[in-house]
Homo-oligomer: A and B are copies of this chain.
Amino acid sequence: MYWTAKAQLGRKILTQANQDFTARLSHVAAEMESVLGAHLPAPKGHQSVIMDAMRYAALGGGKRLRPFLMIETARMLGYTDKGVYIAAAALECLHVYSLVHDDLPCMDDDDLRRGKPTVHKAYDEAIAVLAGDGLLTYAFELLAHKAVHPDPALRLGLVTDLAKAGGAHGMIGGQVIDITVSEIDRDEALITQLQDLKTGALIEYGVLAGAALAGASAEQTEALRGYARDIGLAFQIKDDILDVEGDANLVGKAVGKDENLGKATFVSILGLEVAREKAKDLGIRAKSHLETFGKDAETLCDTVDFVLERSH
């Protein structure tokens, strides 16, 4: 009886924590929507279509996971200055540009993104290329803004790190591997490297930019780097799992695509069960990096569960 009650209480607490987390995630996503809406250039002049397309791509959807990680990492370390939201918006602009370009006919040729037509479908290819360019360029303008943080040297560090995370040795490099290395040459090591670059680099940037803004110590930064790497890879494995198991309506983009294309993914290489185990193990390891932060790390811990349990 006692154990049953305790177990029920445990479940109840878990559910409460879950609700708190979901509310927090929604709250940050709503804030990000508002910050992006306020800061993205307003449609103006003979070129207003480009501001329209940039806003179309960036507003109205997305989990805002990268901004969330930045904001929550800073908050865990006691830093809640609203400048973090501006830096987070810059990161989101860079992430969104990569989606717009990845969706192009010459790349993944996707028609659907975040549940609505991709930019080249809603506008055209040229506008999609330029809207992506505009968002990438604007990310650096936002990040350099004094509203992000009073210290110019710190903002400059954020600029450098974002350029590295998004560049040929980071995200772009991952996309290049993804479109050029043939399926037959992909083993687990290559796919891991590909994902570390393509997805992991920006997730890590989110966490470490939050740490930098909050003035984290070198030791804290290293722990957070470990956390970011593990949650980033877990996120990608879960993405591959969702491509096999997911519902297109929930996922917001085509599913079963990797399998149809005969694409090598964590699921096709490891099998569904092993992939699930691996994601779970990475989740446990991600949380272990947070032990040093004690109870303050609750939201970042819950983010691991969210990443692994999400249906989209």
Contact = CB atoms under 8 A, between A and B. Distances in A.
Interface of A: 41, 45-47, 49-51, 54, 97, 101, 104, 106-107, 124-127, 129-130, 132-134, 136-138, 140-141, 144-145, 152-153, 155-156, 159-160, 162-164, 166-169, 172-177, 179-181, 190, 193-194, 197
Nearest to A132: B133
Contact of A41 (B155, B168, B179, B197): B168
Main secondary structure of the interface of A (DSSP, over half): helix
A10 to B, nearest CB: 46
Contacts of A138: 163, 167-168
A169 to B, nearest CB: 7
* Integer count of this chain's copies in the complex: 2
Contacts of A127: 176, 180
Given A101-B133, A133-B132, A136-B136, A152 B141 contact: no
Given A41-B169, A46-B193, A173-B50, A179 B126 contact: yes
A11 B180 CA distance: 58
8 contacts: A45-B173, A47-B180, A50-B173, A51-B168, A101-B130, A130-B172, A136-B137, A137-B166
Contacts of A46: 176-177, 180-181, 190, 193-194
A50 B173 CA distance: 7
A38 to B, nearest CB: 16
A162 to B, nearest CB: 8
A82 B156 CA distance: 20
Contacts of A41: 167-169
Contacts of A177: 45-47
